[in-house]
Chains A and B, each alone.
Chain A
Amino acid sequence: MIKKGPDTCKGCYFRNMHPAAALVYYMSLFLVALLFSHPLYLTAILAVTILAIISARVLKFWKIYLKFSLFMTLMIVLINPLVSRAGSTVLWSGAQIPLLDGLIISLEAVYFGLAMGMRLLIVLSIFCLYNNTIHPDQTLYLFSKFTYKPALIISLGTRLIPRMKRDFENIQDLIKIRGFDYTSLGFKEKLALFRQSVNALIYNSLEGAWQIAEAMHSRAFGSGPRSQYGRWLLRPGDLICLAGSCAVIAVSFIGKAVGAGSYEYYPKMEYIFGGSRLLALILTGLLIPVLTSWGWDHCRFLRSRI
């Protein structure tokens, strides 16, 4: 099993950020990626996200996401030009294909596909960052003030799913070693055997749930009002990052409202380097955690201050 991020990126700044600051930062990245489809904006946000990934020392986990994203980008780049007929710079037109009413591949459609692929990569990269730098207990801590029990159920559920998967694999192994081969069975027999293995899995899960409930009960869970151990300090660095991320969110909404940073791919692509002042502002806010992380890693003085 691949060791998850929080154990491998121990000591890095992103891991030590206050969960609220980290979560708002990731939200700001996500929001900017969704609000703007300008290729320059998307390229810049992707660059910032990659820098954050490097700073958070989760590059090796990101590679897994990257493979999937590249595959999906390729699919979008291939499919979008086939279905989009809005571009005016025709690269190739050819055979009549049923349902597609004549194949026309335009430069704009290819670029648009690339931009959407890039957006997908950004979103998945943010998810990779979140997944590998924020501990599930931190998320539980953040949301438990409002909804502790549902948050705990989600937290327990996310932990139990991999265990159920492992149990199901074990059950399938035992079915095999006891002489049953799905491939040699008829549909009804297959269904019956599958039902038996699901029954076994449910039994196991219920037993496991009972044991966890007993352990929780023995540690006074549900015995009355509970307190919360806030182990994450809100430090100056967190405040700066939080302020930067909030500013990015605000500026992005305002910019979007006034039409800054908008971009049209069709019918002809606009000039790519327009509206870069807004982008500079956004980048300044988004780069704060990356720069803070650099200070944390390389400068003892800064580390003591943030």
Chain B
Amino acid sequence: MGSLPLFEIQDLTYYYPDKQAPALEKINLKVEEGEFILVTGRSGSGKSSLARSLAGLIPDFYGGKIGGKVLFKGIDLRSMDRREIPRNIGIVFQDPEKQLVMNSVEAEVVFGLENIGLNHWEMARRLAEVLGFLNLSEIKDNFTSSLSGGQKQKVVIASVLAMRPEALILDEPTSQLDPSNADEILKLIKGLNEEGMTVFLVEQRLERCFSYADRIVVLDRGRLIKSGTPREIACWESDNNINNIPPVAKFFSICKAPLIPLDIKEGRFFLKKYLPGQSSSFVCEADELPGKQTNNNQDVVLELKDLWFSYPDGKAALQGINLTVKKGEIVAVLGENAAGKTTLLKTMAGLLKPGRGSVKVLGNNPNKCKAKDVADMIGYVPQNTDDYFFYETVEQEIGLSNNISRVVNDKLVNQTIDDLGIKELFQYNPRELSAGERVRVALASVLAGCPALLLLDEPTRGIDYNLKNDLGRLLLRYSENGTTVLIITNDIEFAAEYARRVILMFDGRIAGDGTKYEILGESIFFSPQMSRLFRGFKKNILTVREALEQIKFPFVQVKSCE
């Protein structure tokens, strides 16, 4: 007889308190010791609920109705001592800010150890081990509030690892981080798995972790609809026209490659085999930069001249920014955390007054305009949509913008409401909605005002591939109708797909400004998967669509999953 699986979920059905629809429905899953499980699915599909049920938080912390069982090494989690669960199963949530309990790094790490009543010397040993392992010893006395987002998430992981759990559950741990910090955290998680820890990772951004998984579990409306190896899932999603896989796997699965590469390394190895040299006959010749056409005749919507802004502590967040954005452009602003992106957006919106220089939106200085006039010109969706909602229902929220807009119920707006699926949410409280739904409602309420300039701060955070595509298409349509869109994003793939121009910020300055091909195509870190895949083979490929247009493979049409 084989050993017991680490987790065994048997017919798990769960309803949150006061909810009619189940968050999880008849889930059956076994997780073996040492496995790396990646959980994916659309927004609101039950991924976080599944993670919480494995950590014993459902129903213990949340209440609600539950059916079925979650077994840990054959023992029902609900019958386990509450103190035993964190000693065996650790969980890390999305937002590190909302998990940190103590003020210093050291106190944070020992917090859980104190709760399980360990003695001083055992705590000292574990603290030394975990701080050393995660390279946090240097900052052990620091205030947690002074750490960067990546460091905060590392501290949270350290505090969970100090409990020495056998399984680590992570619910979108990189969603708040920039690409380099996200990469660091994911590599750390992979390293832990290689050391033998069982990892259960819930993620929306699959580009960097797809190849790490031993098995991928796909959820939809609370049900487990597919489980398999990454290659099987890539093939299955491609066959079922589901766009929830990273670009490299998606490209090769559409091409019906005999073996689907999962990451860039495998993909390039594959290309070397099938595309020998840049002058390959399989490559269509089209190396000139697309999207380079000048649009000098278009109206200038936004103009920044020698813009400086400093916070009260003296830190110069913006340093001599010069920028002109024309009507109908979609501009993505990239850069690491604290590069000045949000400050730039707030200055454009007239929320911050520049220390020096000028901001002009449609020729007006938003700092000197009345709030109502600014709202007519500019639509702004903040990073944290939690702050955005003031009313009890979605309908009221959208009505709020209608009251102040120049154009109401215009055909485009009604179409937007339909496209965003907001109508069916009209009677809901916006705060009860999922992250993706909140972004859609905030966007709809802003678009209802038909602003000339749309400023979006991280609009794709926490939303799935499908919603991202819907959002991207919507922005394209608005841009074709003359709306200028400026998006701050850490989502390189989204920028590559939908932006036409990319601005790269570093330390309060513009470090790069050009077409997406100039900036993303030549960057090492801020480049999409397809660009990295084709580097040295073919220029100016940033998206799967572009690759499919330009590359022809002579594959035998054999499906890899068969």
For A1-44 the 0/1 string (1 means CB < 8 A from B) is 11110110010000100000000000000000000000000000
* A284: Cβ under 8 A from any B Cβ: no
* B269: Cβ under 8 A from any A Cβ: no
* A156: Cβ under 8 A from any B Cβ: yes
Closest to B61 in A: A217
Are B120 and A229 in contact, CB atoms less than 8 angstroms apart?
yes
A176 neighbours in B (Cβ, 8 Å): 350-351, 371, 374
For A113-155 the 0/1 string (1 means CB < 8 A from B) is 0000000000000000000000111001100000000000001
Give the complex CA separation of A293 and B120 in angstroms: 28
B554: shortest Cβ distance to chain A, in Å? 53
B452: shortest Cβ distance to chain A, in Å? 14
Q: Chain B interface: which of A202-210, A259-267, A297-305?
A: A202-210
**Contact among A171, A221, A227 for B387, CB-based, below 8 A:** A171
Closest to A156 in B: B101
Max chain B C-beta neighbours (<10 A), residue from A200, A218, A220: A218
**Contact among B93, B120, B142 for A211, CB-based, below 8 A:** B93
Are B116 and A220 in contact, CB atoms less than 8 angstroms apart?
yes
Are A135 and B103 in contact, CB atoms less than 8 angstroms apart?
yes
A173 neighbours in B (Cβ, 8 Å): 346, 351, 382
Q: Chain B interface: which of A86-94, A177-185, A240-248, A269-277?
A: A177-185
**Contact among A167, A178, A220 for B401, CB-based, below 8 A:** A178
- Given known contacts A1-B313, A196-B390, A219-B86, A214 and B115 CB-to-CB distance under 8 angstroms: no
A7 neighbours in B (Cβ, 8 Å): 141-143, 146
> Which chain B residues in 76-125 approach chain A with CB under 8 Å?
81-83, 85-87, 90-91, 93, 95, 97-104, 106-107, 110-120, 123-124
B115 neighbours in A (Cβ, 8 Å): 219-223, 226
* B16: Cβ under 8 A from any A Cβ: no
B485: shortest Cβ distance to chain A, in Å? 16
B390 neighbours in A (Cβ, 8 Å): 175, 196-197, 199-200
* B428: Cβ under 8 A from any A Cβ: no
> Which chain B residues in 342-386 approach chain A with CB under 8 Å?
346, 349-351, 370-372, 374-376, 378, 380, 382, 384, 386
B357: shortest Cβ distance to chain A, in Å? 20
Are B82 and A220 in contact, CB atoms less than 8 angstroms apart?
yes
* B257: Cβ under 8 A from any A Cβ: no
Are B388 and A174 in contact, CB atoms less than 8 angstroms apart?
yes
* A235: Cβ under 8 A from any B Cβ: no
* B426: Cβ under 8 A from any A Cβ: no
* A165: Cβ under 8 A from any B Cβ: no
* A96: Cβ under 8 A from any B Cβ: no
* B553: Cβ under 8 A from any A Cβ: no
* B498: Cβ under 8 A from any A Cβ: no
Closest to B346 in A: A173
Max chain A C-beta neighbours (<10 A), residue from B112, B375, B382, B390: B390
Give the complex CA separation of A159 and B108 in angstroms: 13
* A74: Cβ under 8 A from any B Cβ: no
Are B112 and A177 in contact, CB atoms less than 8 angstroms apart?
no
- Given known contacts A170-B384, A200-B389, A215-B98, A229 and B371 CB-to-CB distance under 8 angstroms: no
* B334: Cβ under 8 A from any A Cβ: no
Give the complex CA separation of A140 and B114 in angstroms: 13
B361: shortest Cβ distance to chain A, in Å? 12
B149: shortest Cβ distance to chain A, in Å? 15
**Contact among B118, B146, B372 for A4, CB-based, below 8 A:** B146
Closest to B101 in A: A216
For B416-435 the 0/1 string (1 means CB < 8 A from A) is 00000000000000010000
Closest to B387 in A: A170
* B274: Cβ under 8 A from any A Cβ: no
Are A220 and B112 in contact, CB atoms less than 8 angstroms apart?
yes
Are A155 and B103 in contact, CB atoms less than 8 angstroms apart?
yes
B377: shortest Cβ distance to chain A, in Å? 10
Are B116 and A223 in contact, CB atoms less than 8 angstroms apart?
yes
Give the complex CA separation of A175 and B115 in angstroms: 42
* B282: Cβ under 8 A from any A Cβ: no
B417: shortest Cβ distance to chain A, in Å? 18
- Given known contacts A211-B99, A214-B61, A167 and B387 CB-to-CB distance under 8 angstroms: yes
A186 neighbours in B (Cβ, 8 Å): none
A141 neighbours in B (Cβ, 8 Å): 107
Closest to B429 in A: A203
Are A219 and B110 in contact, CB atoms less than 8 angstroms apart?
no
A230 neighbours in B (Cβ, 8 Å): 120
* B163: Cβ under 8 A from any A Cβ: yes
* A291: Cβ under 8 A from any B Cβ: no
A228 neighbours in B (Cβ, 8 Å): 114
Are A177 and B120 in contact, CB atoms less than 8 angstroms apart?
no
Are B93 and A215 in contact, CB atoms less than 8 angstroms apart?
yes
* B27: Cβ under 8 A from any A Cβ: no
B240: shortest Cβ distance to chain A, in Å? 34
A214 neighbours in B (Cβ, 8 Å): 57, 61, 93
Beyond the given A2-B313, A174-B388, A184-B370, could you list 15 further A-B residue pairs with CB under 8 A, ordered by the A residue number? A6-B142, A137-B104, A174-B382, A179-B404, A180-B372, A200-B390, A204-B387, A211-B98, A215-B93, A215-B101, A217-B60, A218-B57, A223-B115, A227-B120, A229-B110
User: Which of B's residues lie within 8 Å of A, judged by CB?
Assistant: 55, 57, 60-61, 81-83, 85-87, 90-91, 93, 95, 97-104, 106-107, 110-120, 123-124, 127, 141-143, 145-146, 156, 159-160, 163, 311, 313, 346, 349-351, 370-372, 374-376, 378, 380, 382, 384, 386-391, 400-401, 404, 431, 449
The 7 closest A-B pairs by CB, nearest first: A179-B375, A219-B112, A179-B404, A181-B371, A211-B98, A215-B99, A220-B115
Between A and B, 12 residue pairs with Cβ closer than 8 Å are A3-B146, A155-B102, A177-B378, A179-B401, A199-B390, A211-B99, A215-B156, A220-B163, A221-B111, A223-B83, A225-B117, A227-B120
